[in-house]
Amino acid sequence: MKSNVFAHIRHDLPAGIVVFLVAVPLCLGIALASGAPFFSGMIAGIIGGIVVGIISKSHLSVSGPAAGLAAIVLASIQKLGTYEAFLLAVVLAGVIQLALGLLKAGAIANYFPSSVIKGMLTAIGIIIILKQIPHAFGYDKDAEGDLKFLQMDGENTFSALFNAISKIDFGATLICFLSLAIMILWEKPFFKKHIKIIPGALVAVIVSVILNEIFITSKNSLALSGEHLVKVPVASSFSEFFSFFTLPDFSQLTNGKVYVVAITLAAVASIETLLCIEAVDKLDPEKRVTPPNRELVAQGVGNMMSGMIGGMPMTSVIVRSSANVNSGAKTKLSTIIHGILLLTTVTLVPNLLNKIPLASLAAILLMTGYKLSNPALFKKMFQLGKYQWVPFLTTVLAIVFTDLLVGVGIGLCASILALLYGNYKNSYYFHKEKHKDGEIILIHLSEEVSFLNKASIKLTLEHLPENSTVIIDASDTHYIDYDVLEIIRDFKDVQAPLRNINCKTVGFKNSYKISNTDNVQSVKEYIPRYPGMITAEYQKTSNEVNT
């Protein structure tokens, strides 16, 4: 790691603490929902934080056991017969992910439409709120981390809400509302300016623990215990602690079912990870881009290590990652800090963790959910037109009423259908001629530019020669996908200046305005400013890649 890794410690430390507080119940809850040993979720969280955090080049993504894999893990353990055989499948899944990363399979991330990614983030925010309201009221029947509509406890998201309202625990409710009040107060300018290093979520948890201990000592009816508190396994000795770790059963290498499970885990975990890093990059205030192939390599190594010592399979996880972003993290140090805190507390002070009320942690997640599903985003998406809001809204509803991967799949189908409905007929074409120094490069956009053209346009812009002049001409274009506009804006305003490329955009209509666009409507009006220089024109079909 670079020597300046601690440059943003004042931001990364408090963010790491908040993610740690969020991760503890999620790691345990997902392990419970998956039918895996309780401690296996903590192992995956520790390795996801420290190992994947170090290898990955994502600045803000956080990895750990994922709710999206819970049903697969549960079915796989039953199918293979033993947890040790399942661990072998996890190791092999990591090997497959490592190979996918080395083979550059992460390029599939370029084809996730922006509307679907934003719909996924919004849906996760709504689900977090709906799932945490029961915990806020002290109804803790469903395990933390269960994000599916049909819950593991036999209820669904809405029936759990009704039951929570009819079975309110006033002690849990008081602690949740007090925790929310503290975190809202911490958002005020005075606290953000003078007490930034101490996160409001940590203060809320400490106050809730102290208050509940007072209730317990005074034998008050508001006291919380049992299922209302975090439950980290506590070892009475070092030998018992090491018994929490399990080795894979390598004798099952000849079992064909193990390979089927491994391929399934690798495919689902890789897709969920790529979706997550795309989403986190959009949340990143600095708009940094995560290399998807490097992320697959990091996840592969993480899953190999997790499987070798008894941990669950992991992915990059949007709930923890969004909490990381919302807490002000700047670099991946926050992810590593959260992993170190998980390791330290479960080995040294597990009893202390077991005093934390779930209602207080529910308050932290409620704040995270609200920031992800801010109502203002719905208005913004509707303003962008039907090509954006139809797949966006479809994705939101599909995820809320199914699960993450099924919902995203439905959203992708909706995005394609929206384009077809909008007379999606004309692809993006451009043909590359041999470029010579000093020549102006003309990129002429066709009548219809869809998100399917995103990868080829992005690749072309990335490989344009430095110190050149480029004209992007949209004079004949009737429709440009929002994703492509984002790529062009980013290239013109950020990437081109860094590479000393003089980028001019021509003919973009008011509805597709690019910042600082030249006020001309055609290349012919622009050419006289550079007489005799336009001699190269880049045009190629969307399914050709010429670098």
In the predicted structure, residue 146 carries a pLDDT above the cut 90: no
User: Would 375 be classed as within a structural domain?
Assistant: no
Paired with 440 in beta bridges are: 469
User: Would 388 be classed as within a structural domain?
Assistant: no
Q: Which of 360, 379, 409 is the last residue of a domain?
A: 360
Q: Which domain holds residue 79?
A: 9-360
| Same domain (yes/no): 442, 294 | no
User: Would 1 be classed as within a structural domain?
Assistant: no
| Same domain (yes/no): 32, 130 | yes
In the predicted structure, residue 60 carries a pLDDT above the cut 60: yes
Question: What would the pLDDT profile of 192-228 be if each residue is shown by its tens digit?
Answer: 777 777 899 999 999 999 999 999 999 999 999 989 9
Residues 61 and 335: beta-carbon distance below 8 Å:
yes
How far is residue 307's CA from residue 44's CA, in Å, rounded to a whole number?
Answer: 9
pLDDT for 475: 81
| Same domain (yes/no): 354, 463 | no
Burial class (CB in 10 A: 0-12, 13-18, 19+), 221: exposed
Average pLDDT of the chain is: 86
Q: Over the range 407-443, which residues count as b (16 or more CB within 10 Å of their CB) and which as e?
A: bbbbbbebbbebbeebebeebbbbebeebeeebbbbb
pLDDT for 514: 67
- The DSSP string of 316-363 is E-HHHHHHHHHTT--STHHHHHHHHHHHHHHHH-HHHHTTSBHHHHHH
Question: What would the pLDDT profile of 345-377 be if each residue is shown by its tens digit?
Answer: 999 999 999 999 999 999 999 999 999 998 888
Angstrom CA distances, 345 to 20, 353, 396, stand at: 10, 7, 36
Residues 479 and 386: beta-carbon distance below 8 Å:
no
| The two structure tokens encoding residue 1 | 């790691």
| Pairing mode of beta strands 536-541, 429-432 | antiparallel
| Same domain (yes/no): 125, 271 | yes
Ramachandran region of residue 534, left (φ > 0), alpha (ψ -120 to 50) or beta? beta
| Same domain (yes/no): 341, 461 | no
User: Would 313 be classed as within a structural domain?
Assistant: yes
Contacts (Cβ under 8 Å, ≥6 apart) of 237: none
User: Would 369 be classed as within a structural domain?
Assistant: no
| Same domain (yes/no): 327, 469 | no
How far is residue 325's CA from residue 58's CA, in Å, rounded to a whole number?
Answer: 12
Total-model pTM:
0.78
Q: pLDDT-derived band of residue 260, with 50, 70 and 90 as boundaries?
A: very high
CATH number at residue 514: 3.30.750.24
- Sheet with 429-432, edge to edge strand ranges: 429-432, 536-541, 440-444, 469-473, 502-506
| Same domain (yes/no): 443, 329 | no
In the predicted structure, residue 432 carries a pLDDT above the cut 60: no
User: Would 61 be classed as within a structural domain?
Assistant: yes
Question: What would the pLDDT profile of 439-488 be if each residue is shown by its tens digit?
Answer: 788 888 877 787 767 777 887 888 788 888 888 888 888 888 888 888 89
Of 358, 23, 360, 389, the closest CA to residue 182 belongs to 360
Q: Over the range 511-524, which residues count as b (16 or more CB within 10 Å of their CB) and which as e?
A: ebebeebeebeebe
| Same domain (yes/no): 446, 354 | no
| Same domain (yes/no): 23, 107 | yes
Residue type, 447: E
User: Would 395 be classed as within a structural domain?
Assistant: no
Provide the number of structural domains found in the chain: 2
| Same domain (yes/no): 25, 171 | yes
How far is residue 410's CA from residue 116's CA, in Å, rounded to a whole number?
Answer: 9
| Same domain (yes/no): 105, 186 | yes
